[in-house]
Amino acid sequence: MSGWAKKRFWKEVTIAQVEGGVTVHLDGRGIKTPAKSALIVPTSAFAEIIAEEWRAQAKTIDPATMPATRAANAAIDKVRGQMAEVAGLITDYGDSDLVCYRAEAPQTLTDLEAAAWDPVLDWAAHRYGVRPVPRVGVVHAPQPAELLDNLRADVARLTAFELTCFHDLVAMSGSLLIALAVIDGFNTPEALWTTSRVDEDWQISQWGTDEEAEALAEGRRRAFMDAARFYFALQPNA
C-alpha cells in the first residue's frame, strides 16, 4: 500500500453507488488504489467490509489490518490487467494437487488422508465429469487432460475480484480442488481448511509444534478464511 497517508485524516466512512459499482468514501471523497485508480468494487457487501476496515483504523493506518482493501487494490491494479496469466498460474496446481498425492506410510496417516481427501475427489468427479487420480508418493504423474481442461474453464469464468480471492484460497491451501470446492459450496471454508491441513496436523500430533510454526499456520488460516469471506461477499446476491 505504498503511497497511502500514514495518519488517519477522516471522520466519516460511507459507501456509495457509482458508475461501475460501489465505492468507499472518506468524508465524502472516494478512495484511490496505490496506482491512483478509483477503488470501485462490484457489490455493496464487499464495499461494506472495506469500509469497516477504514472505520477501525486508529490514529495511524495499519495496512496489515486491512485485507479486504488490499484485495481490492490487487484486483484493480494488478489482476485486472493480467487475468490470463494469473488464471494460468493458479490452474497449474490442478496437475499436482495436494489431495492427489498420498503418503506411502504409516497407515494412520494414509487413512486420515483418504478420509479427508477422497470426498473432495468424489465431488470433483461429480462436478467435472472426471475423477482426479490419486497417487502414492511424490513423483509427478499428469491428471487426465479432460479434467484439467474443465478445471481451467471453471477458473477462467472468474472476475478479476473473484480471481484475486481465489488465488489466496489456492495459495494458502496448496490445492486447486479445495479452493474450487470452497466456492462451489461443497463444504464450509472452515471444514475445507482443516482438509488442507491433514499432513501438517498429523505431524504436529507426532512431534509437536513451536510458536513460529503456529503463528505461520494461523496467518495462513486467516488469509484463507478472509479470501472465502470476500469471495462470497462479491456475489450478486450477497
Homologous superfamily, domain 82-233:
ATP12 ATPase (1.10.3580.10)
- What pTM did the predictor assign? 0.94
Cross-strand bridge partners of residue 26: 13, 29
Predicted confidence at residue 7, as pLDDT, reads: 86
pLDDT score for 2: 44
- Which tens digits make up the pLDDT trace of 171-215? 999 999 999 999 999 999 999 999 999 999 999 999 998 899 999
CB atoms within 10 A of CB 177: 29
pLDDT tens by residue, 28-84? 999 999 999 999 999 999 999 999 999 999 989 999 999 999 999 999 999 999 999
Q: Where in the chain are all domains bearing CATH 1.10.3580.10?
A: 82-233
Q: Which three cell numbers stand for residue 39?
A: 477503488
pLDDT for the residue numbered 5 = 52
Q: Which CATH superfamily groups domain 13-77?
A: ATP12-like (3.30.2180.10)
Residues of the chain with CATH 3.30.2180.10: 13-77
